[in-house]
Structure 1
Amino acid sequence: MNDQLISSATVAASAHTIKPLFRQQAIEHLGNKQYGTVLLARPVSHLFLTWLFLAIALAIVAFFIFFSTTRKAQSQGVLLPTSGVIRVMPGQAGVIAGVRVKEGQAVRAGEVLFVLSGERSSTNAGAPQQVVSSLLKSRRDSYDAELQQSRLQSRQRMAAGQRRASDLAAEIARMDGQIALQQRRITLAEQSYQRYSDLHATHYISSAQLQDKQAELLDQHQRLAELQRIKSASGRDLATTQADVRDLQVQAQRDTEGLQRNVSAIEQDLTENEARREILVRAAQDGMVTAITTELGQTVAANSVLASVLPQGAQLEAEIYAPSRSVGFIKPGMTVLLRYQAYPYQKFGQYPALVREVASTSLRPEELAVPGAVSGTNGEPLYRIRLSLQRQSVQAYGETLPLKSGMLVDASVLLEQRRLYEWVLEPLFSISGRL
Structure 2
Amino acid sequence: MTDRLRRAGGFAAVASLGLAAPVLGPALVVPFALIGLAAITVSSGPVFELFARPGDWEDGRLNGLAGFSLAAAALALLATMPQTPLPVGIFVATLLILGFGNLGMEAVRSQTSQPFLTVAGFVASGFVAGITGQFLVDLQLGGNTEWSVITFLAIVGALIAALLRELLYERDDPLVLLSVGLVVWLFAELVGTVPPVELVAALVVTVVLGAVSYGLGTASVSGMLTGVLLGVLMIVLGGFGWFAVLIAFFGIGGLSSKFRYGDKEQRGVAEGNDGARGTGNVLANAAVALVAVLGFAIVEGEGPLAAAFLFAFSGSLATALGDTLSSEIGGLFDSPRLITTLERVDPGTDGAVTWQGELAGLAGAGITGVLSMAVLPLGAMWAAAAVVALGGFVGMTVDSLLGATLEGGRLGNQWVNFLATLSGGLTSTGLAVWLL
Q: Which structure: greater strand fraction?
A: 1
Question: Normalized against structure 2, the TM-score is what?
Answer: 0.17
Question: Normalized against structure 1, the TM-score is what?
Answer: 0.17
Q: Looking at CA atoms only, which structure, 1 or 2, has the larger radius of gyration? A: 1
